[in-house]
């Protein structure tokens, strides 16, 4: 069991309300929250596996590092982030159980578009490269490289509101995203229901829920539900198959924050 968190970006709202664009990255999915000083994580309702995190922020109010202590052991997990200007550049997580590490490293062009990143866990590395930008943060192509596997890629398309609507792969099913700005939902689909997901938001574009499933045998049912108090994220409840996790954010330890009152953007790393 590992706590996975990362810091990145969120989209901006237009004068005429539109949902933010979906993202197409296998390991990074963004979610906005107020500054929290810690997080308590419960796995499968078993208190003996509780995990408590404490967060530290840099002078710009960005999440810089954290430590997680397990209730049933002396094991301590750690994570750390680095930045260049306003851009996130790296993340490193180390397990307190076996010292295994997970890392993400990102690169940007002169216009601050992310042009590539790599994700690695215990020596298994995936690399993603973005090219042919149509506009800010709008690559028209993504290449994916993994070990000795044949390289493959996606051609990406956007709607008139600059939101991702399709990813056509070199081989395999096409991904599509459909936006319902009235119902405040985004629907993702690949292979006509083989993999299918629905995101719901409130009127301020805060994420409320995310559900995944599909007809493909590898489409493990999963869900995430967020509860809020105004702009303060309170809990994140998630399931993946028969496993469950409940994260409760803490805001009562202001000494952990060097820039209290600022907003940070917490990213959950997710494996499809």
Domain count, the chain: 1
Domain contains 103: yes
82/72 Cα distance (integer angstroms):
30
pLDDT in tens, 189-218: 999 999 999 999 999 999 999 999 999 999
- Answer for the pair 180, 192: CB distance below 8 angstroms, yes or no: no
Least-confidence region, from 7-11, 64-68, 90-94, 208-212: 7-11
Question: Which residues lie across from 200 on neighbouring strands?
Answer: 185, 209
Domain region containing 38? 6-268
Handedness of CA 179, 115, 128, 78 (dihedral sign): negative
pLDDT over threshold 80, residue 261: no
pLDDT over threshold 60, residue 251: yes
Q: What is the pLDDT of residue 74?
A: 86
Domain contains 243: yes
Taking residues 19-38, report their average pLDDT: 77
- 254 backbone dihedrals φ, ψ, rounded to 5°: -65, -20
Where do we find the tokens 């996606």?
154
Domain contains 1: no
pLDDT in tens, 121-143: 998 999 999 999 999 999 999 99
Q: What is the DSSP letter of 35?
A: -
Domain contains 193: yes
Q: What is the pLDDT of residue 120?
A: 95
Q: What is the pLDDT of residue 23?
A: 85
pLDDT over threshold 70, residue 241: yes
Taking residues 151-170, report their average pLDDT: 96
């Amino acid at each position: 069991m590992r706590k996975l968190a990362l810091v990145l970006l969120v989209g901006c709202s237009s004068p005429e309300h539109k949902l933010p664009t979906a993202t197409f990255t296998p390991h990074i999915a963004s979610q906005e929250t107020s500054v929290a000083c810690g997080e308590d994580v419960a796995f499968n309702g078993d208190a003996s596996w509780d995990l408590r995190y404490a967060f530290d922020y840099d002078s710009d109010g960005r999440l810089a590092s954290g430590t997680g202590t397990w209730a049933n052991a002396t094991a301590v997990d750690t994570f750390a982030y680095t930045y260049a200007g306003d851009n996130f550049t790296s993340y490193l997580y180390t397990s307190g159980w076996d010292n295994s590490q997970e890392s993400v490293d990102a690169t940007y062009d002169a216009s601050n578009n992310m042009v590539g990143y790599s994700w690695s866990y215990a020596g298994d590395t995936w690399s993603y490269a973005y090219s042919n930008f149509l506009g800010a943060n709008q690559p028209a192509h993504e290449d994916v490289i993994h070990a000795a596997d044949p390289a493959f890629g996606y051609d990406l398309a956007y709607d008139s509101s600059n939101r991702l609507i399709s990813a056509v792969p070199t081989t395999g099913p096409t991904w599509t995203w459909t936006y319902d700005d009235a119902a405040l939902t985004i629907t993702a689909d690949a292979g006509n229901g083989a993999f299918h997901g629905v995101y719901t938001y409130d009127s301020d574009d805060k994420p409320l829920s995310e559900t995944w499933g599909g007809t493909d045998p590898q489409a493990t049912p999963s869900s995430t539900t967020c509860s809020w108090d105004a702009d303060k994220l309170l809990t994140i409840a998630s399931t993946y198959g028969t496993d469950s996790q409940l994260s409760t954010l803490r805001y009562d330890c202001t000494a952990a924050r060097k820039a209290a009152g600022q907003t940070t953007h917490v990213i959950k790393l997710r494996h499809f």
